[in-house]
Chains A and B, each alone.
Chain A
Amino acid sequence: MITVEGLTRKYGTFTAVDDVSFVCQPGRVTGFLGPNGAGKTTTMRIMVGLTAPTAGRVTIGGHLYQDIPNPGRHVGVLLDASAQHAGRTGREILELGARTMGLDGSRVDEMLELVSLTPGEAKRRLRNYSLGMKQRLGIAHALLGDPSVLILDEPANGLDPAGIRWMRGLLKGYAERGGTVLLSSHLLNEVELIADEMILIGHGKIVAQGDKKSLLAGAKGSGTTFVTALDNQVLAEALQAKGFVVAGAGDGLRVETEPVEVGRTAAEKAIVLTDLRAADGGLEDLFLELTSDTQREGMA
């Protein structure tokens, strides 16, 4: 379990992490989501003692990271997959980690196999690795010591679609066996599929947290419908006559009401529908809305 309590980190007058508190439970994947520069990496660096907090603290299973003996055996860390010596082979990088942790040499081969790096690729030097290969190696490094807690900064970065699906399965299975997983991302879709819990951060502050359902319940934008009919024109007029707000959207219409109202109107007027669904951008909208004052681009 990771417990973050009142964590603050200032750089001069700039506050990168601002009074952040949250908990990552064992058995669950916690997604740490926020736009660029929100403070995700800084928070994770503080967790493992690479950056000193200005205030607050983080405990992992009740201990400060610095107080965990041989921490690689308990906490798997991936902060930056390219922060490795460019002249070392992939295998040697894992070998150094395994030796530091006092692990069996066979563990290196197991991990290489787990992340699907071939023996030939493992012999290449890191400077010749592709982004995704570095990421796989980083994940292998984090898993080396068979830890019960994983802290991963943008682990899906650079992975191909098959790689992302593989990682999703890996982390889910890991949490199901009782592990604690914290992973960060600035891509909502990525986290939405993996995470059981979500923590949204913007401008160094937590703006929302909870599981997906409870976050969505609080989201605006429910009660919007996308509909396409054989004759959109007639449907739009019928809906407007009932007082609903209608706007064109792609091939169809966007209506500010529940799908059931749109269906009823269509049935009454005998209009053939080809598509009818609730607008499901809820979480995405929520994310953009909650972090809007921290976005670099104005919201469209």
Chain B
Amino acid sequence: MSTTAPGLGHALDISSTSPTPFSRLVRVELRKTWDTRAGLWLLISTAVVTALVMVIQLAVVVANDLQVSYNDFLTSTNFSIGLLLPVIGILLLTSEWSQRTAMVTFSLEPRRPHVIAAKFVVGIGLAVVAVIIALVLATICNALYGALSGDTVVWDQSAEQTAYFVLLQVIGMLTGFAFAALLLNSPAAIVLYMVYSFVLPGLFGLGAALIGWFEKIQPWIDFNDAQTGLFDGNGMSGDDWAHFAVSGFIWLVVPLGIGIARVLRAEVK
């Protein structure tokens, strides 16, 4: 039991400690995602829901004698990790505010950009792990589909499409993260994300159908629409990438920028 306060003069000798390495911050931030019951269950249920949705899809497909491919199984993740990864991304940041742990986090590491970057890295890491789990589950379901239905199994996932799939999930996670940084409040950020992904596309579609000039700008501001090529199997054209970049700047980069600037300056209490 040592609480020895080292004998010291009036100056603090800081040569004995080195700045906290980034890798250590990442490990601590990762640990924070599962060291509470709520956090652990969110991660577990994300995996379970992903499996469940695919199994239901498999049962329906086999029972109704439908034709599906590997990619169809992956598309079902729109209803699992597509929804839950953004929520994980949101809670990575907002839980520090709702639980007021930011006070401790930022007093142990006053370089706030390092903390935010560590959370960002954890978010991307979790998205990649989720994708790997989804790919494995889709492989199992597609093989089972072949065995159960007797139809030819179609493995229609190219390396390019796999990369698109990773990109799609990482973007979902980061959009949640950006909204969280902007609002610093879990319920508000989750509602904003749901509005953004379910209500907004409808409004954009309606606007484009009713207002002539809106139809022209809609592709440039509708980030959901701009991501369609990442999962519908038609791929991304040069135009698609341009729409993707511009709308992504509006919905991802701008909120993230404003949000981070806010976190860096915020009074923590």
> What is A's interface to B at a CB cutoff of 8 Å?
1, 25-26, 45, 48-52, 60-63, 65-66, 68-74, 77, 79-80, 82-88, 92, 96-97, 99-102, 110, 113-114, 141, 143, 146-149, 170, 173-175, 177-179
A85: contacting residue among B9, B14, B101, CB under 8 A: B101
**Most chain A beta-carbon contacts within 10 A, residue among B9, B19, B267:** B267
Do the beta carbons of B20 and A70 come within 8 Å of each other?
yes
| Binding-face segment, B29-37, B136-144, B159-167, B200-208 | B29-37
Q: Which residues of A contact B19 (CB under 8 A)?
A: 69-70
Do the beta carbons of B106 and A110 come within 8 Å of each other?
no
Q: A50-B107, A69-B20 are in contact. Are A96 and B31 (CB under 8 A)?
A: yes
CB proximity of B136 to chain A, nearest CB, Å: 30
CB proximity of A6 to chain B, nearest CB, Å: 19
Do the beta carbons of B8 and A88 come within 8 Å of each other?
no
Q: A50-B267, A110-B1 are in contact. List 8 more A-B contacts (CB 8 A).
A: A52-B267, A63-B12, A71-B110, A74-B17, A79-B103, A85-B99, A143-B3, A177-B6
Do the beta carbons of B36 and A49 come within 8 Å of each other?
no
Do the beta carbons of A148 and B12 come within 8 Å of each other?
yes
> What is B's interface to A at a CB cutoff of 8 Å?
1-14, 16-20, 24-25, 27-28, 31-32, 35-39, 95, 99-101, 103-104, 106-111, 265, 267-269
Q: Which residues of A contact B13 (CB under 8 A)?
A: 61
Closest 4 CB pairs of A and B: A61-B12, A179-B5, A87-B36, A83-B100
Q: A69-B18, A85-B36, A110-B2 are in contact. Are A61 and B11 (CB under 8 A)?
A: yes
CB proximity of B19 to chain A, nearest CB, Å: 4
CB proximity of A39 to chain B, nearest CB, Å: 14
Do the beta carbons of A97 and B36 come within 8 Å of each other?
no
Q: Which residues of B contact A69 (CB under 8 A)?
A: 14, 17-20
Do the beta carbons of A49 and B110 come within 8 Å of each other?
yes
Q: Which residues of B contact A45 (CB under 8 A)?
A: 267-269
List, sorted by A's number, 21 A–B pairs whose CB atoms are closer than 8 Å: A45-B268, A50-B269, A52-B267, A61-B14, A68-B14, A69-B14, A70-B17, A72-B107, A74-B14, A79-B107, A87-B39, A88-B35, A96-B32, A97-B104, A101-B108, A102-B20, A148-B6, A177-B5, A178-B5, A178-B7, A178-B8
Do the beta carbons of A100 and B24 come within 8 Å of each other?
yes
Q: A74-B17, A146-B3, A149-B12 are in contact. Are A85 and B106 (CB under 8 A)?
A: no
Report Cα–Cα, A63/B15, bound state, in Å.
Answer: 12
Do the beta carbons of B31 and A99 come within 8 Å of each other?
yes
Residue on A with the closest CB to B95?
A: A85
B106: contacting residue among A25, A49, A61, A97, CB under 8 A: A49
Q: A85-B101, A179-B5 are in contact. Are A71 and B108 (CB under 8 A)?
A: yes
Majority-rule SS of A interface residues? loop
Report Cα–Cα, A113/B3, bound state, in Å.
Answer: 12
Q: Which residues of A contact B104 (CB under 8 A)?
A: 83-84, 97, 141
CB proximity of A293 to chain B, nearest CB, Å: 27
Residue on A with the closest CB to B267?
A: A51
Do the beta carbons of B109 and A100 come within 8 Å of each other?
yes
Do the beta carbons of B8 and A148 come within 8 Å of each other?
yes
Q: Which residues of B contact A74 (CB under 8 A)?
A: 12, 14, 17
CB proximity of B186 to chain A, nearest CB, Å: 13
Q: Which residues of B contact A141 (CB under 8 A)?
A: 104
B27: contacting residue among A62, A65, A99, CB under 8 A: A99
CB proximity of A100 to chain B, nearest CB, Å: 5
Q: Which residues of B contact A83 (CB under 8 A)?
A: 99-101, 103-104
Do the beta carbons of B99 and A146 come within 8 Å of each other?
no
CB proximity of A63 to chain B, nearest CB, Å: 6
B14: contacting residue among A63, A102, A175, A178, CB under 8 A: A63
Report Cα–Cα, A146/B8, bound state, in Å.
Answer: 13
Q: Which residues of B contact A77 (CB under 8 A)?
A: 107
Residue on B with the closest CB to A86?
A: B99
Residue on B with the closest CB to A151?
A: B107
Report Cα–Cα, A30/B36, bound state, in Å.
Answer: 37
Q: Which residues of A contact B16 (CB under 8 A)?
A: 73
Do the beta carbons of A80 and B103 come within 8 Å of each other?
yes
Q: Which residues of A contact B269 (CB under 8 A)?
A: 45, 50-51
Q: A80-B100, A170-B3 are in contact. Are A52 and B108 (CB under 8 A)?
A: no
Q: A51-B268, A102-B24, A113-B1 are in contact. Are A70 and B99 (CB under 8 A)?
A: no
Report Cα–Cα, A175/B6, bound state, in Å.
Answer: 10
A72: contacting residue among B9, B18, B108, CB under 8 A: B108
Report Cα–Cα, A97/B104, bound state, in Å.
Answer: 8
